[in-house]
C-alpha cells in the first residue's frame, strides 16, 4: 500500500480521528506512504499542522451558486406570525430551559434569544416590524414547524433567477425538489404530518412525493428519493443529516435547513451518553447549503438568523473524541493485534 485517500475528514468522528492518529504513526515508519485528506469544508491548516506541515491544495468547486436566506428573510417573505400557544414560542420553554441573559456581554455579541422586541428592531432595522415581533416571540432553540411549512409553500412559488426556465433532468421533472433538514426521526414524523395536513400535500399524487430519509430507512425506500417527480409534482424530502454528505439527491433546487442536529454528548458526572439537539456549526450549514447547487443554481433557507450564523454558531463541529465516552474505542484498539504489537508514542489529534 502506497496511498490512502480519506474523504469528508471535517466530520471528525471517533473512528476517523483514530484512523488519522494511526496513519500519522505509520507514516513515521513507512516514508513511502502518502495520505490524501479531502473535504469541501475542512480547516486545511489544522490538518496540515497535524501532519507536520503537509502541503495543501484546493480544487475549484463544480457546484453552482446558491442564494442563501436566513430566518429573518423567511419571516419577511412568508409574513409568518408566531402564535402565543405554539410549541416554538419563547414563553413555552420547558422549566429550567429559560435563556438567562448573560452579564457584561456587549450587545453586538448577545444571542438573539436574549433580545426583546426593541432590541430586535435595532439589530434587524432593515426588516418590517412583523419580523421584529416574530423574532422576539420565537424560542430560537426550537423548530418552528409552521414556518417550515410556509417556507415550503414559498419555495413552490419561486425559482432561482439564474434558471428562470428551469432545468429538465429527464423523467418529466424540473430540478426543483425541496430538501428539508431536521434533527431526527421524531421531527421528520412531525413535519410530515404538518405538511400532509395542508393542500396540495394532503392529496395524491403529491402526498406520495413527500418522502422521509434517515439512516434507519430500508434500502428500497431510500432509493425512492432519487426518482424524478412527474410533471406538475414537486418532490419534498424530509431528511436528517444523512443527506448532508452521505447521500446526494441531484434534482434538489431548494434546501430548507432548520439549523439543528443531534450529536452524542457524554456527561462525566453521571457517566451517561445522550443525544443532544444542538445548533449546527457554520461548516455544516455550508455543506447543507451546497446540496441545492449540484446541477444548477439553487436557493437555501437557513431558519437561523444571520447573527446566529455569523457570531453564535461554532466554525466547525467539536471532534467526537472530545464529547463521547471512549471505553468502546479503547476496547476495539486493544483487540487489534497490529496496534498491540507496537503502541503509538504520538499525541492524540
Q: Which residue range is the domain that position 200 belongs to?
A: 66-83+142-315
Q: 333 and 230, same structural domain? A: no
Q: 287 and 184, same structural domain? A: yes
Q: How far apart are CA 116 and CA 135, in angstroms?
A: 9
Q: 291 and 173, same structural domain? A: yes
Q: How far apart are CA 35 and CA 2, in angstroms?
A: 9
Q: How far apart are CA 11 and CA 39, in angstroms?
A: 9
Q: How far apart are CA 22 and CA 102, in angstroms?
A: 42
The mean pLDDT value for 252-279 works out to: 87
210, 195 in Cβ contact below 8 A? yes
pLDDT category of residue 12 using cuts at 50, 70 and 90: confident
Instruction: Look at the chain and report how many structural domains it folds into.
Output: 2
Residue 259 domain flag: yes
Highest average pLDDT, of 101-105, 122-126, 154-158, comes from 122-126
Residue 330 domain flag: yes
pLDDT category of residue 164 using cuts at 50, 70 and 90: very low
Q: 289 and 149, same structural domain? A: yes
> What angle separates helix 129-137 from helix 71-78, to the nearest 10 degrees?
120
Query: Over the stretch 297-322, which tens digit does the pLDDT of each residue have?
Result: 889 999 999 999 999 999 888 888 88
Give the three cell numbers for residue 69: 436566506
175, 251 in Cβ contact below 8 A? yes
Q: 164 and 22, same structural domain? A: no
Q: Which residues contact 212 (CB under 8 A, 6 or more apart)?
A: 185, 188, 189, 192, 221, 237, 238, 239
pTM of the model: 0.84
Q: 335 and 241, same structural domain? A: no
Please report the DSSP string for 16-61 in residue order: HHHHHHHHHHHHHH-TT-EEEEE-SS--HHHHHHHTTS-----PPP
What is the CATH classification number for the domain harbouring 303? 3.40.50.300
Largest CA distance in the chain: 67
- Counting residues of the chain whose pLDDT is more than 70, the rounded percentage is 89
Q: 329 and 232, same structural domain? A: no
Q: 174 and 291, same structural domain? A: yes
Region of poorest pLDDT, from 97-101, 107-111, 141-145, 193-197: 97-101
Residue with cell 496540515: 48
Highest average pLDDT, of 121-125, 273-277, 329-333, comes from 121-125
Q: 189 and 287, same structural domain? A: yes
Task: Assess whether pLDDT exceeds 60 at residue 251.
Answer: yes
Mean confidence (pLDDT) of the chain: 86
Which residues, in sequence order, are bridge partners of residue 262? 277
CA distances from 280 to 69, 89, 93 (A): 16, 21, 20
Query: Over the stretch 186-237, which tens digit does the pLDDT of each residue have?
Result: 999 999 999 999 999 999 999 999 999 998 888 888 889 999 898 889 999 9
Amino acid at each position: 500500500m502506497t496511498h490512502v485517500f480519506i474523504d469528508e475528514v471535517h466530520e471528525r468522528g471517533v473512528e476517523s480521528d483514530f484512523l488519522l492518529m494511526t496513519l500519522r504513526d505509520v507514516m513515521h515508519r513507512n516514508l513511502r506512504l502518502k495520505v490524501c485528506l479531502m473535504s469541501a469544508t475542512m480547516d486545511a491548516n489544522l490538518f496540515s499542522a497535524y501532519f507536520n506541515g503537509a502541503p495543501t491544495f484546493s480544487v475549484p468547486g463544480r457546484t453552482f451558486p446558491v442564494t442563501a436566506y436566513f430566518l429573518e428573510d423567511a419571516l419577511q417573505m412568508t409574513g409568518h406570525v408566531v402564535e402565543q400557544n405554539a410549541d416554538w414560542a419563547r414563553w413555552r420553554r420547558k422549566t429550567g430551559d429559560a435563556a438567562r441573559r448573560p452579564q457584561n456581554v456587549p450587545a453586538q455579541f448577545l444571542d438573539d434569544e436574549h433580545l426583546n422586541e426593541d432590541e430586535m428592531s435595532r439589530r434587524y432595522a432593515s426588516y418590517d416590524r412583523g419580523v421584529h415581533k416574530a423574532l422576539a416571540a420565537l424560542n430560537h432553540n426550537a423548530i418552528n414547524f409552521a414556518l417550515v411549512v410556509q417556507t415550503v409553500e414559498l419555495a413552490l412559488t419561486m425559482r432561482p433567477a439564474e434558471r428562470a426556465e428551469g432545468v429538465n433532468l429527464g423523467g418529466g421533472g424540473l430540478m426543483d425538489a425541496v430538501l428539508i433538514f431536521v434533527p431526527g426521526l421524531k421531527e421528520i414524523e412531525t413535519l410530515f404530518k404538518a405538511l400532509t395536513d395542508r393542500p396540495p400535500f394532503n392529496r395524491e399524487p403529491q402526498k406520495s412525493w413527500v418522502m422521509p430519509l434517515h439512516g434507519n430507512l430500508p434500502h428500497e425506500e431510500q432509493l425512492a428519493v432519487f426518482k424524478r417527480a412527474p410533471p406538475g409534482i414537486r418532490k419534498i424530502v424530509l431528511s436528517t443529516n444523512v443527506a448532508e454528505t452521505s447521500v446526494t439527491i441531484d434534482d434538489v433546487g431548494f434546501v430548507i435547513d432548520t439549523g439543528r442536529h443531534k450529536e452524542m454528548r457524554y456527561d462525566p458526572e453521571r457517566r451517561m451518553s445522550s443525544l443532544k439537539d444542538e445548533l449546527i456549526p457554520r461548516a455544516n450549514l455550508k455543506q447543507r447549503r451546497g446540496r441545492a447547487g449540484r446541477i444548477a443554481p439553487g436557493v437555501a433557507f437557513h431558519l437561523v438568523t444571520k447573527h446566529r450564523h455569523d457570531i453564535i454558531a461554532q466554525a466547525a463541529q467539536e471532534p467526537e473524541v472530545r464529547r463521547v465516552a471512549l471505553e468502546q474505542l479503547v476496547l476495539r484498539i486493544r483487540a487489534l493485534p497490529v496496534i498491540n504489537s507496537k503502541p503509538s508514542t504520538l499525541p492524540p489529534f
